[in-house]
Amino acid sequence: MASEASDSKTKPTETQSSSSSSANGNGDAGEFECNICFELAQDPVITLCGHLFCWPCLYRWLRLHSHSHECPVCKALIQEEKLIPLYGRGKNQTDPRSKPVPGVEIPNRPAGQRPATAPPPEASAVPNFGFGLGGGFLPVMIGGFGNLGLLAGFCGFLPSMLSIQINNFADARPTYGTTSGYARGFSGGYHDRDFPRASETNQGAQAEDNRLVLILLIVMFLVIFSCMW
């Protein structure tokens, strides 16, 4: 008691002399002071109601002293798993508040809840690619039909309509991607499954057309082949 009295005798004068500087500092640092110990928050956590605490301070209050799990500032219900840790850049020095009270183990503060990473930027750089998997397949099929078209040409059965349809595919091709052709068309298809976008709707309509044309071609070739055999 005696030592403490002398302690407290010297300290107020100390703090008085530094009060002007701490008053200036308050404007900046006060925002980041723990609401329990009034020091710069150590292992800071923030409640859903937005109040900042040192994790050791809040833990001791919730687990050892309070009768209810309420925010000390606003009495909102606190769920420990919903506390948000604040991770700044600096590494914390050991702080007296983290030193356990005899018989009290303070666990690590709750970890942050990390949402999934943001979509990779290239996904938005290829808005023209693909209309789903079907879109990815189309260019390959065209290649196939080109051969069939040749075959059909050999057989001398190339109706005028067929050439028109093939031209139609050629026109549609730039919408898959102008640079690297079919491979990009495929990857575009996968991206598009994850991130559907508005442009899909008008391109999708065209894809629908192309698919109908494909079916028509297949039927035609089947008819042609059946006639041939």
Give yes or no for a contact between 131 and 203, defined as CB atoms under 8 angstroms apart.
Answer: yes
Q: Least distance in Å: CB of 40 to other proteins?
A: 11
Q: Least distance in Å: CB of 88 to other proteins?
A: 21
Which residue number, 55 or 61, has a Cβ lying nearer to other proteins? Answer: 61
Which residue number, 71 or 152, has a Cβ lying nearer to other proteins? Answer: 71
- Residues with Cβ within 8 Å of 186's Cβ and at least 6 positions away in sequence, in order, are 130, 136
Q: Least distance in Å: CB of 48 to other proteins?
A: 16
Which residue number, 72 or 110, has a Cβ lying nearer to other proteins? Answer: 72
Q: Reduced to 3 states, what is the DSSP secondary structure of residue 215?
A: helix
Q: What is the 3-state secondary structure (H, E, C) of 146-173?
A: HHHHHHHHHHCCCCHHHHHHHHHHHHHH
- Judge residue 100's burial from the number of C-beta atoms within 10 Å of its C-beta, 0-12 exposed, 13-18 middle, 19 or more buried: exposed
Alpha-carbon dihedral 116, 122, 126, 127, rounded to 10 degrees: 40
Token pair, residue 141, equals 């099929």
Which residue number, 35 or 165, has a Cβ lying nearer to other proteins? Answer: 35
Dist CA 95 CA 97 (whole Å): 5
Residues forming the site for other proteins (CB under 8 A): 1, 4-9, 11-12, 15-16, 19, 22-23, 35-39, 51, 57, 60-61, 64-67, 70, 72-73, 75, 96-97
Which residue number, 5 or 118, has a Cβ lying nearer to other proteins? Answer: 5
Q: Least distance in Å: CB of 10 to other proteins?
A: 10
Q: Least distance in Å: CB of 26 to other proteins?
A: 8
Q: Least distance in Å: CB of 12 to other proteins?
A: 6
Token pair, residue 193, equals 């499954």
Which residue number, 75 or 197, has a Cβ lying nearer to other proteins? Answer: 75
